Amino acid sequence: MRKVAIVGIGHGKFGVRSDASLRELVFEAVKACLEDAGVTLDEVDSMVTGVACDEFSFGIQPSAQVHDYIGFYPKPNYRVEAACATGSVALRTGWMNIVSGLADLVLVVGVEKMTEVSTSVATEIMGRAGDAIWEYPFGTTFPGYYAMIANAHMAEYGTTEEQLAMVAVKNHYYGCLNPYAHMQKEVTLEKALTSFPVAYPLKLYDCSLITDGAAAVLLASEERARAISKKPVWMVGLGLATDTLRLGDRRSLTSLSAAREAARVAYKMAGIGPMDIDVATVHDCFTIAEIVAYEDLGFCEKGEGGKLIEARETYVGGRIPVNVDGGLKSKGHPLGATGVSMAIEITKQLRGEAGSRQVKDPEIGLTHNVGGSGQIALVHIFRRE
């Protein structure tokens, strides 16, 4: 199988970007990515665009808005989608382009422009990430699904609202150290615990943000990677798995089976285990999701996720630093961009370019990206030379 590396990264500023449209956000990320790699767009063979929602992009085929605006035609570009895991599906599709031999240099873009619509409309669009026929009539929202996971986890393992809030405290702390993060504000445990309820037991500070943003990475075949980059970051493990549409049909309400299966496949492909991971970005769309991710990825035993954050083991200097870029919680969660943004943070960490949030000399990194309420999950493992 051909080897594939990340040779360029470009991260736009995440936030309420009322100054820019979807296509303009992409331009920022693509420009930064090409500059980082030191290549021109002419050298790129193919492109993949990740956008989650047509309702946010105001049109079908949002990939055309993108390749038109950056002048990338007539070469291949198309849109991929997997709700909140769209960015990782884009990355996987880019990887497949190279492994198949169709291309040697692929630009992978993830973007979402979410604040053009009102918060209640955005809430409704994301609420349909579950089953529009059988769940939505009960007023389900995205926080609502994870709130039901939280209540089940709390009842079964004694996980506390304080432990959930500790995830928010950590991720806001690191968001302040990330200039591209949406929220540059620390939060205290008390403030997180007393913030207004969104879906019991989740409160405002348990929830990720409605964010505009774009991110881009350049993938290269081994030959091209060695010619372009002094610090290629290799994609050595990829896992994708799926699960039932409805929360009610899951075998477990305290775990995401798709994430467990995706992790198993990715670890096997990379020939490593959870204890080999030096740094990770996980899908903390809600604080409970980060705690469940610790368990699903094997960073701790089932039910011990709350204790792992309480012992500060997921801070820099801890056993397994997680989301030290601020995570979805503080960096923001522009649906299509998130998976690409995760890969960018791991690339920075493995290159040793993460600045004040740098983990000490990491060799292997992992991303964990979940779509909807767990209908799809992707785990990617990255390795420096």
Whether 176 is catalytic is no
Question: Of residues 5, 33, 51, 152, which one binds another protein by CB under 8 A?
Answer: 152
Question: Of residues 5, 148, 316, 378, which one binds another protein by CB under 8 A?
Answer: 148
For residue 210, the minimal CB distance to another protein (Å) is 11
The residue type of 248 is: G
> Which one of 84, 207, 285, 300 is the catalytic residue?
84
Measured CA to CA, the distance from residue 267 to residue 248 in angstroms comes to 28
Question: Of residues 71, 74, 101, 137, which one binds another protein by CB under 8 A?
Answer: 137
| Strand ranges of the sheet holding 4-11, from the earlier edge strand across to the other edge | 77-80, 46-50, 105-112, 213-221, 4-11, 233-242, 376-383, 364-371, 279-281
Q: Does 247 bind another protein (CB under 8 A)?
A: yes
For residue 350, the minimal CB distance to another protein (Å) is 38
Piece of 28-36, 150-158, 174-182, 268-276 that binds another protein (CB under 8 A): 150-158
For residue 119, the minimal CB distance to another protein (Å) is 8
For residue 101, the minimal CB distance to another protein (Å) is 35
Pick from 11, 74, 13: which is nearest to 211 by CA?
A: 13
Contact 357, 324 (CB under 8 A): yes
**Which of 69, 136 has the CB closer to another protein?**
136
User: Which 253-312 positions form the footprint of another protein (CB under 8 A)?
Assistant: 253
Which residues, 6+ apart, have CB-to-CB distance to 264 below 8 Å?
239
For residue 199, the minimal CB distance to another protein (Å) is 5
Question: Of residues 26, 30, 183, 199, which one binds another protein by CB under 8 A?
Answer: 199
Q: Does 143 bind another protein (CB under 8 A)?
A: yes
Beta bridge partners of 197: 203
List b or e across 279-312, with b for residues whose CB sees 16 or more CB atoms inside 10 angstroms.
Answer: bbbbbbbbbbbbbbbbbbbbbbebbbbbbbbeee
Pick from 193, 190, 188: which is nearest to 161 by CA?
A: 193
Q: Does 200 bind another protein (CB under 8 A)?
A: yes
Whether 153 is catalytic is no
Measured CA to CA, the distance from residue 364 to residue 128 in angstroms comes to 35
Q: Which residue has the tokens 């290629």?
A: 232
Question: Of residues 77, 141, 221, 349, which one binds another protein by CB under 8 A?
Answer: 141
Q: Which residue has the tokens 């950056």?
A: 70
Strands (E) in 256-363, as ranges, are 279-281
> x/- string (CB under 8 A) for another protein, residues 155-194?
xx--------------------------------------
Contact 217, 161 (CB under 8 A): no
Measured CA to CA, the distance from residue 164 to residue 290 in angstroms comes to 9
Question: Of residues 35, 249, 301, 353, which one binds another protein by CB under 8 A?
Answer: 249
Q: Does 132 bind another protein (CB under 8 A)?
A: yes
Q: Which residues bind another protein (CB under 8 A)?
A: 118-121, 123-124, 127, 132-141, 143-144, 147-152, 155-156, 196-202, 246-249, 253
Q: Which residues are designated catalytic?
A: 84, 333
